[in-house]
Each structure stands twice: as structure tokens, then as C-alpha cells.
Amino acid sequence: MPARETPREIAREVIRIEAEALGAMTAALSEDFDAVISRLLQVTGRVIVSGMGKSGHIAAKIAATMASTGTPAQYVHPGEASHGDLGMITKADAVILISNSGETRELADIIAHSRRFAIPLVAITKRASSTLGQQADFLLQLPDAPEACAIGMAPTTIFRRILLPQVWRFALPGLGNVFLVIIKETALVSVIGLDELMRKTDIAVGYTKKPFTFYLFAACIYMVITAITMQMQRQLERRANRGVAGRAGA
């Protein structure tokens, strides 16, 4: 088996991928770049920068850097903009929107607002054909570079080994309860289901006239079934919660 990569080697690989992405951006720098800078220098108001999720964090950093270097700038959260903050974006401003896909729904209101009041709109996105790319006055298109993923896994492997275990531990309790309901109330388990078990018990009681014996026996059978089911559920939950502080031994 190949030796496991050290943190230092992983860091070097991440930096290499990032450096290659910057190189690709250098070669593919948009022709609109000069026009964008020229337009921003003419702004008499503020440069409004926005994005959602990780793009939002990048937008906030751009706004902070511009403000610290003498360009009035402000980050506006797209969710807050849709609930009243659009009023702070005026005709004297310019807007920079960041979205990898160009189809971020939360940016729709800012796009519509900028189009309605003819506010200059700069798009930073990977897809020129996207809604954001088509609506923008200026397009700074990102190169199609891979993410600097330190774990080195395919998307399906990431789902199976990282995402699914996280979701599974929250889903197990509810699934266990549903399974107990199925045993009690549905025909999916007609051999061991509670309804079928009690029907057979009623027949036996009718023939033998010994209700206590057969009802006690039926109760024991159902108790064994539910006890086994609950024990299996606890084992699965314990396995799913491995490595989670305060939950692994629960």
C-alpha cells in the first residue's frame, strides 16, 4: 500500500492547485477588467459587494479590503437585501455580485434592483451564459479550475464516507420509531406483526378457553421482537455516533 501523505505534503498539493488556478486566471483575465476598474473609479457612491455562502465571505473580504484602501465599499447580505436592505443600494453605487454558477437564487432581488435603477453591475462567475452573466454590465469570468481539495476524494466517495455518515446518525432514531410502527400497524410484516399475532392469539383463546396463557405468550413474543429491534437500533446509533463527543457512549 502507498504511504499515507503527511500534512505537509497535503499542504503542498493544495498550494500547487491554488497556484495553477491563479495561473489560469492570469491567462484568462477578462477583457472587461479594464472597463470594470474604470467604471468603479467613476462611482460617486459606494461599491456594493454581495454573494451567498462562501462567495459571501469572499465578497465581505473584498469590501473590507476596498474600504481599507480608500474606496467606499460595503458588503450587503443577499438575504437581508431581499428583506429591506435593497434601499441602501442607490443609483450612485456600483454592484459586484459573486456566484460560481451564476444562478444563486438569493441574488435575484439585487440583480432585479440594479437593472430597474440602472446601477452598474459587475458579475464574477464561472458561467458566462448564466442569469448573472447575462444580466451584468461587466463580466469577470472565472477559469474552470479544480478546487484545492485536500482530501483527494471523488464526489461519490465524499458522499459515502463524509456526508452520509453525518446524515445517518440523525436519521436513525426516526427510522427506528417508524420501524416499530410498521411492526405494530401494517401488513408489511404479516407474519410477526402485532395485528396478526393478536388475531392468532384470539383464535387460540377461542379454542382452548385459556386467555391468560396465550395473551401472556403473545406479549412475550412481541416484547422479544421489540427488544431485539431496539437493541439493533442502539447498536447502529452507537456505531453512527463514533467520534462524536458526548454521543458515542450514549
CB-count burial class (<10 Å; 0-12, 13-18, 19+) for 32: middle
pLDDT at 48: 97
| Right CATH for 7-141 from 3.40.50.150, 3.40.50.10490, 3.20.20.70, 3.40.980.20 | 3.40.50.10490
**Rounded Cα gap, residues 63 and 54, in angstroms:** 14
Residue pair 48/74 in contact (Cβ under 8 Å)? The answer is yes
Q: What residue has cell string 500534512? A: 7
- For residue 105, the one-letter residue type is R
pLDDT at 244: 65
Residue 195 clears pLDDT 70, i.e. is over it: no
**Rounded Cα gap, residues 184 and 165, in angstroms:** 29
Q: Where are the domains of the chain?
A: 7-141, 155-240
Is this prediction's pTM over 0.85?
no
Q: Tell me the per-residue pLDDT of 141-194, one tens digit each, with 9 for 90 and over.
A: 998 877 766 566 666 777 777 777 778 778 888 887 777 777 666 554 555 556
Query: How much is the CA Rg of the chain, to the nearest whole Å?
Result: 30
